[in-house]
């Protein structure tokens, strides 16, 4: 578990812009492969200061001679950094891109998306801010992630809009991290292009799954939720194309006010049309970004949302399809479904209420998103 800040405010000096500012952390020691590491040195260890590192972080001191080196001083929360974290020197911040003690690491490949879902936890502003992706930067991040990393999630925005550059990123993942489990979060629309899907499926890392949301059993409701005309047919065609190439697929059904009465129908549709998917997970909302802005249209109390889960799940199980329940606090779920509940909220987002301290099932519960903690039962 790791609940550490992703951005550390710092005074950063870039004296050598010809080297990457993304590197692995090594604290109070020396290492052979200096050119890939950022050395963190406390005052007590200053005799370890050596030439050749990609960058330096000095704690409570700074050498008098530091020409042509990239370094940071006055770093807030510097004690939260760990050996083998991957960090980037930004203008005023150190950006923690990979946390070596966490199982919830992700690579955000773009913040742009070709849909505009009503309950997206990102805001329109974030998704429309033109922050073009940088393929070399992404490949550098992958290069730096230790090859004993268990899980990495590739996310966006919508990673699929990178199209053939996404293929390059996945090739790099396969080459650098052959033992890592990868989960790609995608709305699936781009895979309606069969030729692209064929190319994509040829380069996938060994342990790879793609998670695709489906909000309805029909185009009218699904497209109303994605606010993207044609998205239902593209997603379904994408899923079928991926299945034809034997790509492992998880379907994610986000439960909101607009579709909670339709869950059983969605299950019936999945069982009929795309029954070879590996698993279907029903997911509670995360109430940030667009989701918060559109809260009156989408929020539904957990108890109401979960009241419709049982028949939907039974329908899938009877069809031989694995199912799971994500992001719902355990006490809000029908006891008969407890065994399907997963601790699915990322470590840095999990919160519990005061009353949870005395709960006898807390150790099995995944808690709340910070953003849903105060939404439950009162809608605000």
Binding residues vs ligand SF4 (CB under 6 A): 329-331, 352-353, 356, 359, 361-362, 365, 367
Nearer to ligand SF4, 58 or 368 (CB): 368
Least distance to ligand SF4, CB of residue 50, Å: 48
- Show Cβ contacts of residue 136 under 8 Å, excluding neighbours closer than 6 positions: none
Least distance to ligand SF4, CB of residue 362, Å: 4
Nearer to ligand SF4, 133 or 326 (CB): 326
Enter the DSSP assignment of 257: T
Nearer to ligand SF4, 233 or 348 (CB): 348
Least distance to ligand SF4, CB of residue 348, Å: 18
Nearest to 76 by CA among 11, 151, 9, 132: 9
Least distance to ligand SF4, CB of residue 339, Å: 14
CB 340 within 8 A of CB 323: yes
Least distance to ligand SF4, CB of residue 364, Å: 8
Nearer to ligand SF4, 135 or 331 (CB): 331
Q: How far apart are CA 71 and CA 102, in angstroms?
A: 26
CB 351 within 8 A of CB 367: yes
Least distance to ligand SF4, CB of residue 8, Å: 31
Nearer to ligand SF4, 176 or 331 (CB): 331
CB 302 within 8 A of CB 285: no
Nearer to ligand SF4, 165 or 347 (CB): 347
DSSP alpha helices (H): ranges in 31-178? Answer: 124-128, 135-144, 164-176
Q: How far apart are CA 356 and CA 275, in angstroms?
A: 38
- Show Cβ contacts of residue 122 under 8 Å, excluding neighbours closer than 6 positions: 111, 157, 288, 289, 290
């Amino acid at each position: 578990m790791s609940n550490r800040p992703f951005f550390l405010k710092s005074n950063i000096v870039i004296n050598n812009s010809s080297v990457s500012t993304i590197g692995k952390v090594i604290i109070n020691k020396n290492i052979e492969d200096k050119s890939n590491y950022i050395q963190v040195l406390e005052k007590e260890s200053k005799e370890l200061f050596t030439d050749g590192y990609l960058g330096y972080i000095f704690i409570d001191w700074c050498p008098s001679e530091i020409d042509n080196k990239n370094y940071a001083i006055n770093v807030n929360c510097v004690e939260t950094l760990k050996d083998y974290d991957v960090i980037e020197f930004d203008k005023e911040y150190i950006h923690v891109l990979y946390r070596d003690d966490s199982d919830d690491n992700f690579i955000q490949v773009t913040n742009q998306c070709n849909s505009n879902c009503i309950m997206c936890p990102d805001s329109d502003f974030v998704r429309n801010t033109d922050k073009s992706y940088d393929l070399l930067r992404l490949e550098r991040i992958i290069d730096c992630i230790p090859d004993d990393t268990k899980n990495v999630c590739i996310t966006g925005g919508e990673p699929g809009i990178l199209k053939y550059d996404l293929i390059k990123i996945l090739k790099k993942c396969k080459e650098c991290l052959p033992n890592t489990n990868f989960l790609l979060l995608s709305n699936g629309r781009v895979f309606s292009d069969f030729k692209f899907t064929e190319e994509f499926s040829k380069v996938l890392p060994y342990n790879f799954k793609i998670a695709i949301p489906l909000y309805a059993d029909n185009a009218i409701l699904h497209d109303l939720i994605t606010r993207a005309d044609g998205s239902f047919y593209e997603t379904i065609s994408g899923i079928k194309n991926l299945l034809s190439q034997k790509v492992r697929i998880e379907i994610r059904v986000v439960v909101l006010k607009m579709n909670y009465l339709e869950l059983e129908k969605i299950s019936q549709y999945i069982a009929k049309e795309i029954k070879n998917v590996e698993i279907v997970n029903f997911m509670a909302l995360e109430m940030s970004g667009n989701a918060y802005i559109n809260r009156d249209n989408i929020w539904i109390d957990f108890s109401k949302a979960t009241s419709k889960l049982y028949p939907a799940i039974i329908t899938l199980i009877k069809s031989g399809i694995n199912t799971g329940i994500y992001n719902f606090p355990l006490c809000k779920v029908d006891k008969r479904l407890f065994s399907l509940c997963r601790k699915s909220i990322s470590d840095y987002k999990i919160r519990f209420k005061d009353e949870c301290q005395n709960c006898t099932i807390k150790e099995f519960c995944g808690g709340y998103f910070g953003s849903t903690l105060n939404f439950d039962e009162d809608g605000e």
